[in-house]
Chains A and B, each alone.
Chain A
Amino acid sequence: MEFYGTALASRLFLGTAQYPSPKVLCEAIEASGTEVITVSLRRETSDGAGTGFWQMLRQTGRRILPNTAGCHTVQEAVTTAQMARELFETDWIKLEVIGHADSLQPDVFALVEAARILSDDGFKVFPYTTEDLVVGEHLLQAGCEVLMPWGAPIGSGQGLRNSDGLRAMRAHFPNTPLVVDAGIGRPSDAAAAMELGLDAVLLNTAVAKAGDPIAMARAMAQAVIAGQTGYQAEPMPRRDMAVPSTPVLGLAELI
């Protein structure tokens, strides 16, 4: 599976916000083995860009996926995306258009509109969306080639709230890269997402706010590999009865 023509060995995307220090962040990036880091381009940082923090991120050598976190309107998101393209010299953009300040749910109507404007402008859009199939269709029609459904609300650490919905999404979009974005709290959540056959996991708070972010970054990387390998290995079906794993034949008859 390629993401806009780019093959990625690591299926873990890592966010760069809220770490105790840039040093811890850089070590977590290293431990995660990630190839893609997301960067929140808050509008207020734009007039002071080019600071040490951006340089540190560039020096990690990872591909940067700027995001439009905190944008609530189409115009805001588009402007932020354009600034990000200039600042980070990339046409990749993680598109977030927030519809509700408290739950941070995406405003899917504005999202589709912004995705169309940005795709037409040559951006490679990674839209943060819900597991709604119809919205997914509209995003593809708008020019997106990747979908990023949420697992749970941003920063909530609840894991996959609707794994049936995500499974349906996989079935409905068999050839579109799907990245679970938001809601991952534990390594088991990341593994569960990959076991559903999704292509990657994007997370931030789960690592940044862990007691030991570096160890958690490593654990997430291992979980993503475990889940992905498990999916490819085709798990056995669930049964509602026990089935002995040792053969019954040849047991001694003690009479």
Chain B
Amino acid sequence: MITIAGAGLAGLATAYELLQRGAEVTLFESGSAPGAASVARYAGGMLAPFCEGESAEEEVVTLGSRAFEWWAKITAVHRRGTLVVAPPRDRAELSRFARRTRGHQLVERAEIAELEPALSGRFATGLFFRDEAHLDPRRAIVDLAQMVETLGGQILYETPAPRQVDLNCTGMAAPLSALRPVRGEMAILHCQEVNIRRTLRLLHPRIPLYLVPRDDHHFMIGATMVESSSTRAPTLRAVNELLSAAFALHPAFGEASVVELGAGLRPAFADNLPRLVEQDGVLHLNGLYRHGFLLAPEMAHRAAAKLRPQSADIFAKERIG
């Protein structure tokens, strides 16, 4: 029996990998429902390894390569690519973004209009990352939890984890001194008038912003990045910037309902890359930062391989102890 503290993204993903290997798994979760207490509920849900390459280490691009197939087995993945645009004044940002990333093609007015008719005539040039995708993070967590239970995993909600577990996936609650919080603020809009089918990124020197379509004309818009451990509600400044950026993408967002405003703390290590850490006999999977849905599959795979090597014998667990 393998025990996991935390049934958020990292815990559930590793449980799934372990169950695939024939292990028995129990998860202890402080929240009352799948994902209710997880920072992943504020995520964009982008599977965008190439765009993330703009500011992340190359490792993010390579580690993320498993993500599409992995998630497609669990939840609905929309493989429609990412469209990156910039306001006319910030065109230079687009060239910089193009230089720093790969997997894109330059698109002009006609192609932008074809990809996203709602943006027709609004942007002269953009970058299209054909191979990127998105999913709905809240649905994905619920689907993943259901899959874990279907495969025989046990999730104990509102149950504190025992002192000694095999794997700790509790994000910022984990006792890891190298971990730091990076606060993110986001909004969810509902706008009947706007039809956008793929992730959009609006480049802006001060606040680069993304908009991810969800079901039924809902749109997630994010996200700020602040070196802070504050969990208070989003600030007026952040909300103002997020909402004005949405307005810059399409003026019809002026009539959108602001359905939700949220703030969460991304757990991150100094290099903003996730890692497996062994501390006091417990394996920790943490530091997914802003790449949770992209990197969880590969990191979960690695965690599972440590906890239960394929050629598992009865001494396997002692070896990693």
Chain A residues with CB under 8 Å of chain B are 20-24, 26, 42, 44-45, 47-54, 56, 155, 209, 211
Q: Is the CB of B99 within 8 A of A48?
A: no
Chain B min CB distance to A216 (Å): 14
By secondary structure, the A interface counts as helix
B99 closest partner in A (C-beta): A211
Q: Is the CB of B271 within 8 A of A44?
A: no
Chain A min CB distance to B285 (Å): 18
Interface string of B84-102 (1 = CB under 8 A from A): 0000000000001001100
17 further A-B contacts with Cβ under 8 Å, apart from A42-B226, A48-B228, A56-B180, are: A20-B272, A21-B271, A22-B180, A23-B272, A24-B271, A44-B183, A44-B230, A44-B235, A48-B183, A48-B230, A49-B228, A51-B228, A52-B178, A52-B179, A52-B270, A53-B180, A56-B270
Known contacts A20-B56, A211-B100: A51-B229 contact under CB 8 Å = yes
Q: Is the CB of A51 within 8 A of B181?
A: yes
Interface string of B52-80 (1 = CB under 8 A from A): 00011100000000000000000000000
B162 within 8 A of A: no
Q: Is the CB of B270 within 8 A of A21?
A: yes
| CB neighbours of A50 from chain B (8 A) | 229
Chain B residues with CB under 8 Å of chain A are 55-57, 96, 99-100, 178-181, 183, 205-206, 226-232, 235, 237-238, 270-273
Known contacts A23-B270, A211-B100: A44-B180 contact under CB 8 Å = no
B93 closest partner in A (C-beta): A209
Q: Is the CB of B56 within 8 A of A53?
A: no
Q: Is the CB of A52 within 8 A of B56?
A: no
Known contacts A51-B180, A52-B179, A56-B270: A20-B55 contact under CB 8 Å = yes
Inter-chain CA distance A48–B229, complex, in Å, is 4
Q: Is the CB of B232 within 8 A of A45?
A: no
Inter-chain CA distance A48–B180, complex, in Å, is 11
What are 9 A-to-B residue pairs whose CB atoms are below 8 Å? A45-B227, A45-B228, A47-B230, A50-B229, A51-B229, A52-B179, A52-B180, A52-B181, A53-B227
Q: Is the CB of B55 within 8 A of A45?
A: no
Q: Number of residue pairs across A and B with beta carbons under 8 Å?
A: 63
Inter-chain CA distance A155–B100, complex, in Å, is 19
Identify the interface centre among B179, B206, B228: most chain A CB within 10 Å of its CB: B228
Q: Is the CB of A45 within 8 A of B230?
A: yes
Inter-chain CA distance A122–B270, complex, in Å, is 35
| CB neighbours of B237 from chain A (8 A) | 44
| CB neighbours of B230 from chain A (8 A) | 44-45, 47-48
A47 closest partner in B (C-beta): B230
| CB neighbours of B181 from chain A (8 A) | 48, 51-52
Chain A min CB distance to B253 (Å): 21
| CB neighbours of B55 from chain A (8 A) | 20
Chain B min CB distance to A64 (Å): 14
| CB neighbours of A51 from chain B (8 A) | 180-181, 227-229
| CB neighbours of A211 from chain B (8 A) | 99-100
Q: Is the CB of B272 within 8 A of A21?
A: yes
Identify the interface centre among B96, B227, B228, B230: most chain A CB within 10 Å of its CB: B227
Known contacts A44-B237, A51-B181, A51-B227: A155-B99 contact under CB 8 Å = no
A21 closest partner in B (C-beta): B272
Inter-chain CA distance A20–B270, complex, in Å, is 10
Chain A min CB distance to B57 (Å): 8
Inter-chain CA distance A21–B225, complex, in Å, is 11
Q: Which 4 A-B pairs have the closest CB atoms?
A: A52-B180, A48-B230, A48-B228, A53-B227
Inter-chain CA distance A51–B265, complex, in Å, is 12
Inter-chain CA distance A155–B206, complex, in Å, is 9
Known contacts A48-B181, A52-B179: A22-B228 contact under CB 8 Å = no
B56 closest partner in A (C-beta): A20
B177 closest partner in A (C-beta): A52
| CB neighbours of B226 from chain A (8 A) | 42, 44-45
Identify the interface centre among A20, A21, A155: most chain B CB within 10 Å of its CB: A21
Chain A min CB distance to B308 (Å): 31
| CB neighbours of A49 from chain B (8 A) | 228-229
